[in-house]
Amino acid sequence: MLVYKFGGASVADPSRMAALLPILKENTQPVLIVISALGKTTNALENIVNHACRDEKPKAQWLASMLEQQHLDYARRLLKGNFLTIATKVLNNYFAELNEAVLKADTFNYDFSYDQIVGMGEIFSSCLFSNFLLQNDIKNEWVDARLLIRTDDTYRDAIVDYEYSLMQAKQLIEVPLLKGLFVVTQGFIGATEAGNTTTLGREGSDYSAAIIAAMLNAESVTIWKDVEGLLNADPKLFPNTIKIDRITYKEVIEMAFFGAQIIHPKTIKPLQNNNIPLYIKCFFDKDKQGTIITDDVEEIAYPPIIVLKENQILIQVITRDFSFITEENLSKLYEIFHILKIKINLIQNAAISFIACIDNREDKVKSLIHELSKNYKVLNNDNVSLLTIRHYNTDIITELTKNRNLLLQQITRKTMQVVMK
């Protein structure tokens, strides 16, 4: 069984979706397709949640109706006859579901409301895709991922219940595939036992593809993107990037963990655990080699791999009574970060101080500083960037830190990290 994940860019407009047909048609075996929301739909839905929760319901509803028009227009350009009629009807129903979620949204249940609204994007896109495949004689079953992926109720960052989801995957995915049908489902979403939609974190469709692949022991997963493969840096930030042909799971998990946008950080573990290769390929040119991510078979010579995370904040915590930052204080500090679900991107401690570099998410940082200040003196330095270079050399460090004020630097054998202003 093959798993293909199509990201938002690959279906951003009807002509792009249509261009995916040859990729699917050349397969002799049916494929499980995991799809993201069309283009920038998820951002548009986030905007809708924000208005809905700010008690600007009419504005939110208006934005939702604009989004509906865009999807209907997409359907008209993509589909004909009966396929168009069916898709239009289904979209109308799901947009009614969105409207209901908008009316119910409230600030006090922000994360819950977020998932009910933002989770709809993949439902819309997958309906279009499934009907488009039918129109082109690719028989397929559309599967609602909310019946497939069972999660806990950590809205916006839900944890998957593997056992239950596996049982569902056998029924909902494996059975149709064995019958020779393609399966189209949504990435990014799942549902709680009570049936409320949950999301797995932004860009979570990669992760969805990986967990379903792991559950059903797929032959491989391919993520179809608008770049030719995995690059050694983000081409939007750095010129002269180099494409990497082959790379290990370990290297990619490090990159993703340090903030590379190419792949959702949780994607690698289920694949590595089940030894399923991951291909990154370009949907503009399906025959290009792309990148293969597998296990460490032999030493690979990598170019410097660069990850830049902007909008960071350095938080410095100092003990008021000059007690040392050792195990006791450290475990108290970690506990605070853990409870607030704040990931530390870089950490350093000294005799009576502890420094952490984290994403500057306003809501989280506020409560963090509030909690820390109860027992410690807290200083911060915002608007800083965190640069990570794997397989660094001195030239590249000099070049990338030129004219910057370096606030903190850590170097290990393979990785250099610096916080700079």
Q: Distance between CA atoms of 348 and 353, rounded to whole angstroms?
A: 9
Characterise 14 by phi-psi region: left (phi > 0), alpha (psi -120 to 50), beta (else): alpha
Q: Distance between CA atoms of 191 and 328, rounded to whole angstroms?
A: 38
Residue 69 to residues 72, 91, 114, 194: CA-CA distances in angstroms? Answer: 5, 10, 21, 31
Question: What residue type is assigned to position 280 of the chain?
Answer: I
Kindly tell me which of 126 and 248 has the beta carbon lying closer to Mg ion.
126
Residue 204 near which of Mg ion, ligand ASP, none (CB within 5-8 Å, type-dependent): ligand ASP
Kindly tell me which of 278 and 418 has the beta carbon lying closer to ligand ASP.
278
Supply the minimum distance, in Å, between the C-beta of residue 7 and ligand ASP.
Answer: 6
Supply the minimum distance, in Å, between the C-beta of residue 228 and ligand ASP.
Answer: 19
Tokens of 326: 């050792």
Kindly tell me which of 168 and 198 has the beta carbon lying closer to Mg ion.
198
**187 part of the interface to Mg ion, by CB under 5 A:** no
Supply the minimum distance, in Å, between the C-beta of residue 187 and ligand ASP.
Answer: 5
Q: Distance between CA atoms of 247 and 370, rounded to whole angstroms?
A: 42
Q: Distance between CA atoms of 363 and 253, rounded to whole angstroms?
A: 27
In 127-196, beta strands by DSSP E:
140-143, 182-186, 189-191
Residue 14 near which of Mg ion, ligand ASP, none (CB within 5-8 Å, type-dependent): none
Kindly tell me which of 51 and 225 has the beta carbon lying closer to ligand ASP.
225
DSSP structure class, residue 131: H
Kindly tell me which of 121 and 190 has the beta carbon lying closer to ligand ASP.
121
Characterise 245 by phi-psi region: left (phi > 0), alpha (psi -120 to 50), beta (else): alpha
Kindly tell me which of 151 and 199 has the beta carbon lying closer to Mg ion.
199
> Which residue of this chain has its Cβ atom nearest to ligand ASP in the complex?
205
- From candidates 8, 187, 204, 290, binder to Mg ion by CB under 5 A: 8
Contact 384, 421 (CB under 8 A): yes
Kindly tell me which of 8 and 290 has the beta carbon lying closer to Mg ion.
8
Q: Are β-strands 220-225 and 278-282 bridged in parallel, bridged antiparallel, or unpaired?
A: parallel
Supply the minimum distance, in Å, between the C-beta of residue 189 and ligand ASP.
Answer: 8
Interface residues toward ligand ASP, by CB under 6 A:
7-8, 36-37, 42, 121, 187-188, 202-205
Residue 229 near which of ligand ASP, Mg ion, none (CB within 5-8 Å, type-dependent): none
Residue 52: closest CA among 9, 116, 4, 1: 116
Residue 119 near which of ligand ASP, Mg ion, none (CB within 5-8 Å, type-dependent): none
What are the beta bridge partners of residue 356? 315, 347
Tokens of 13: 């407009």
> Which residue of this chain has its Cβ atom nearest to Mg ion in the complex?
8
Supply the minimum distance, in Å, between the C-beta of residue 206 and ligand ASP.
Answer: 6
Question: What residue type is assigned to position 347 of the chain?
Answer: I
Residue 188 near which of Mg ion, ligand ASP, none (CB within 5-8 Å, type-dependent): ligand ASP
Contacts with Mg ion by CB under 5 A: the residue count is 3
Residue 142 near which of ligand ASP, Mg ion, none (CB within 5-8 Å, type-dependent): none
Contact 152, 200 (CB under 8 A): no
Residue 185: closest CA among 142, 136, 216: 142
Dihedral pair phi/psi, residue 60, rounded to 5°: -60, -40
Supply the minimum distance, in Å, between the C-beta of residue 47 and Mg ion.
Answer: 14
Supply the minimum distance, in Å, between the C-beta of residue 397 and ligand ASP.
Answer: 32
Q: Distance between CA atoms of 129 and 168, rounded to whole angstroms?
A: 22
Kindly tell me which of 61 and 261 has the beta carbon lying closer to Mg ion.
261
Contact 77, 89 (CB under 8 A): no
Q: Please report, as residue ranges, which positions from 29 to 88 form the binding site for Mg ion (by CB under 5 A).
A: 36, 42
Residue 376 near which of ligand ASP, Mg ion, none (CB within 5-8 Å, type-dependent): none
Supply the minimum distance, in Å, between the C-beta of residue 224 and ligand ASP.
Answer: 12
Residue 190 near which of Mg ion, ligand ASP, none (CB within 5-8 Å, type-dependent): none
Supply the minimum distance, in Å, between the C-beta of residue 389 and ligand ASP.
Answer: 26
The residues that touch Mg ion, with contacts defined as CB under 5 A, are 8, 36, 42
